[in-house]
Amino acid sequence: MSVFRSIMNGIFGRSAAAEAPPAEAAAAKPTIEAGSAPPSAAPAPSPVAPASAPAEAVDVVAILTEMQSKAGQPLNWRQSIVDLMKLLGIDSSLTARKELAKELGYAGSTDDSATMNIWLHKQVMTKLAENGGRVPDELKA
């Protein structure tokens, strides 16, 4: 799984779990009554958005703020890509951040980790917004 996909799952997955419909409806089995059409002749269910694409905008700040309140350590996820990754339980090593930079198309030198980290944080916030997250402008590139 890509590093950015892990970030998205860490945020959007928490939102989906909180908003998931009851499992009973999904688990119910149709019954066939005499004279009714077999299940294969029933109309196809409406398409469902993929798990990675939320139907409504996900409040990224609210989710991360709640996670921060439970983290037990100060993590500056609003400015630090390292702290954001730590908050989500994702490997925040330089190697992982270089991989994320490659995924997101970073054109600068990955040897300048300070500049890369600033770019990564803004780019991740921008990409979260592009993928259904509600992110304030000041956190985006």
What integer pLDDT is reported at residue 24 of this predicted model? 37
* Concatenated DSSP letters of 49-81: --TTS-SS-EEHHHHHHHHHHTTSS---TTT-H
What integer pLDDT is reported at residue 9 of this predicted model? 95
Give every residue of the chain whose pLDDT is below 50, as ranges: 18-34, 36-52
What integer pLDDT is reported at residue 57 of this predicted model? 87
Give residue 80's domain range: 61-133
Q: pTM (2 decimals)?
A: 0.71
Q: Residue 78 falls within a domain, yes or no?
A: yes
What distance in Å separates the CA atoms of residue 86 and residue 98, rounded to the nearest whole number? 16
**Tens digits of per-residue pLDDT, 32-45?**
444 544 444 444 43
Q: How many CB atoms lie within 10 A of CB 104?
A: 16
What integer pLDDT is reported at residue 141 of this predicted model? 73
What integer pLDDT is reported at residue 30 of this predicted model? 42
Q: Residue 8 falls within a domain, yes or no?
A: no
What distance in Å separates the CA atoms of residue 134 and residue 122, rounded to the nearest whole number? 14
Q: Residue 74 falls within a domain, yes or no?
A: yes
Q: Residue 42 falls within a domain, yes or no?
A: no
What integer pLDDT is reported at residue 23 of this predicted model? 41
Percent of the chain predicted with pLDDT > 70 = 70
Count of domains for the chain:
1
On whether the CB atoms of residues 94 and 51 are closer than 8 A, the answer is no
On whether the CB atoms of residues 39 and 32 are closer than 8 A, the answer is yes
